[in-house]
Amino acid sequence: MILVIDDDIAIRTSLSLVLKRAGYEVQTVSSPAEAMTVVRETAPTLILMDMNFSLSTDGAEGLTLLKQVKIFRPQVPVILMTAWGSIQLAVEGIKAGATDFVTKPWDNLSLLQSISTAIKLSQESTATGSDEFDRCGIVGQSPQLISVLETVRRIARTDASVLITGESGTGKELIAEAIHRNSCRNNKSFVKVNLGGISQSLFESEMFGHRKGAFTGAVSDRQGRFELADKGTIFLDEIGDLDKNCQVKLLRVLQDRTYEVLGDSHQRRTDVRVVSATNANLNSMVADGTFREDLFYRINLITLHLPPLRERPDDIPLLVNHFIEKACKQNAMPIVKVDDSAINYLKGLPFTGNIRELKNLVERTLLVSDNSRLTADDFRRQYNSNQSSSDEDVQPIFEGTTLDDMERQMIVGAIARYNGNMTQVAASLGLSRGALYRRMEKYGIKQ
């Protein structure tokens, strides 16, 4: 039985008709109080509820009802109906546990589609006895990380655009992958695009593709990233590095969901879920006019913030063990133990390069110590030797060394020194992040 909750009799009547025609049993109620009586007494297969009851225009009543429903019937899928333009409310609803939302006026076909998908998914998860959330190797138990994962679980199956923010090395890419793996698009591609590394002149060709001969140098046809990601997820990494010209081009495709391949005027449709990431503060970039506000809203229906590692020390013990186990297995070594004193020492470090820095530190320490137990001193020695290497490291210049060799060495050295924190690496070399990424691509350097 589908329970329809709406205070507008016209909507109740028409929904009831549409749903009955599609073969569902329907019950309708007009107020949150009545709704709770039904929810307590029976278990509907699905609930379709209005968020804007006449008493409160801000949707507070709808949100409270949703939360109560989720306490009584956590496994019953809820689809929200919101007035056009109240996307923020829908987002809050999704965070509070709704499965999906439709905006009024709705389109009957896509509403029925959402309903059948939601019912199918909830039946599948009941059958397997769990939500089968795939953590994709994301390790940690801090309340901050758990809350991020909880939101990922809830929003993965919607098509909502997600912006992931956080310092370098906090795990943004891993989270983006987890969203894709736990979505209905997981049998299609997850296409990563590093927007910091694409030059303005190649942007369209990279994103939309080109036909042979479209411009000098276009020696063959090339598929664009939007085409590669069709029906899957496109991950727009380093979106804060996109210049204003390219921002307009990206906005256009995200708005219209159509684009043109260079050298081919035929319009193509794209069906992609957009996940973006940045370590820049897009709010302040919007405020100072360097990032378009309309693009910001397009990519940012849901924001996930990954706090720096130093603010979630509870994740350190699990992460350390995880990286040790992985490295030991890779090198066919017996698993090394870690002293409590070592964990306490690590919990006090600033980790400006976050989890990437912790991972590097653990791997280096493991490599140089031949004990079967790692102590605080082992980690301290490695940590300090890496810190002090930042001042010297001037490479001797030999005859026959090319400028390219030197550039390459300097980049590799700086990446090691700053533990892959690309903002710091770029700053230390006097380059923009974009220029740095282009050089890394040129020399085939991986982060």
Ligand X SMILES: Nc1ncnc2c1ncn2[C@@H]1O[C@H](COP(=O)(O)OP(=O)(O)OP(=O)(O)O)[C@@H](O)[C@H]1O
Which residue ranges make up the site for Mg ion (CB under 5 A)? 173
Burial class (CB in 10 A: 0-12, 13-18, 19+), 46: buried
**Nearer to Mg ion by C-beta: 328 or 416?**
416
Torsion, Cα 175 176 180 182, to 10 degrees, reads 20
**Nearer to ligand X by C-beta: 114 or 182?**
182
* Phi then psi dihedrals of residue 52, to 5 deg: -110, 90
- Residue 355 interaction partner, one of ligand X, Mg ion, none, beta carbon < 5-8 Å per kind: ligand X
- Residue 276 interaction partner, one of ligand X, Mg ion, none, beta carbon < 5-8 Å per kind: none
- Residue 299 interaction partner, one of Mg ion, ligand X, none, beta carbon < 5-8 Å per kind: none
Q: Cα–Cα distance between 374 and 144 in angstroms, integer?
A: 28
Say which DSSP state 158 is in: S
User: CA dist 69 to 27, 33, 38, 83, 326, Å?
Assistant: 16, 11, 10, 21, 42
**Nearer to ligand X by C-beta: 168 or 247?**
168
SS3 of the chain: helix, strand, coil, percent, to 5: 50, 15, 35
Q: Residue with the closest Cβ to ligand X?
A: 171
**Nearer to ligand X by C-beta: 169 or 209?**
169
Q: Cα–Cα distance between 249 and 265 in angstroms, integer?
A: 16
| Single residue of 170, 247, 360, 365 touching ligand X by CB under 6 A | 170
Q: How far is the CB of 354 from Mg ion (least distance, A)?
A: 11
User: CA dist 418 to 26, 284, 323, 354, 391, Å?
Assistant: 60, 25, 19, 11, 12
User: Contact between 317 and ligand X (CB under 6 A)?
Assistant: no
Residue 350's Cα: distance from chain center in Å? Answer: 25
| Single residue of 136, 174, 376, 431 touching ligand X by CB under 6 A | 174
Amino acid at 62: G
Q: Cα–Cα distance between 350 and 82 in angstroms, integer?
A: 44
**Residues 99-138: x where in contact with ligand X by CB under 6 A, - otherwise, as a string:** --------------------------------------xx
**Nearer to ligand X by C-beta: 161 or 205?**
161
| Single residue of 59, 62, 93, 169 touching ligand X by CB under 6 A | 169
Q: Cα–Cα distance between 429 and 14 in angstroms, integer?
A: 64
User: Contact between 416 and ligand X (CB under 6 A)?
Assistant: no
Residue 211's Cα: distance from chain center in Å? Answer: 31
**Quick one: which H or E segment has residue 242?**
none
Report yes or no: 306 and 261 within 8 Å, Cβ to Cβ. no
User: Contact between 196 and ligand X (CB under 6 A)?
Assistant: no
| Binding segment (CB under 6 A) for ligand X, from list 147-155, 168-176, 217-225, 401-409 | 168-176
Cα four-point dihedral sign 421, 423, 424, 428? positive
| Single residue of 62, 77, 93, 171 touching ligand X by CB under 6 A | 171
What is the CB neighbour count within 10 angstroms for residue 77?
25
**Nearer to ligand X by C-beta: 38 or 138?**
138
Closest CA to 131 of 159, 100, 112, 156: 156
Closest CA to 412 of 392, 435, 429: 429
Residue 105: cis peptide before it, omega within 30 degrees of 0: yes
Q: How far is the CB of 323 from ligand X (least distance, A)?
A: 8
| Single residue of 7, 131, 134, 173 touching ligand X by CB under 6 A | 173
Q: How far is the CB of 145 from ligand X (least distance, A)?
A: 6
User: Contact between 166 and ligand X (CB under 6 A)?
Assistant: yes
**Nearer to ligand X by C-beta: 235 or 296?**
235
Q: How far is the CB of 159 from Mg ion (least distance, A)?
A: 22
**Nearer to ligand X by C-beta: 115 or 320?**
320
**Quick one: which H or E segment has residue 148?**
helix 143-155
Q: How far is the CB of 383 from ligand X (least distance, A)?
A: 17
**Nearer to ligand X by C-beta: 115 or 355?**
355
| Single residue of 82, 205, 247, 279 touching ligand X by CB under 6 A | 279
Q: How far is the CB of 420 from ligand X (least distance, A)?
A: 6
User: Contact between 359 and ligand X (CB under 6 A)?
Assistant: yes
- Residue 218 interaction partner, one of Mg ion, ligand X, none, beta carbon < 5-8 Å per kind: none
Report yes or no: 112 and 18 within 8 Å, Cβ to Cβ. yes
In the complex, which residues of this chain contact ligand X (CB under 6 A)? 137-140, 166, 168-174, 279, 319, 322, 355-356, 359, 422
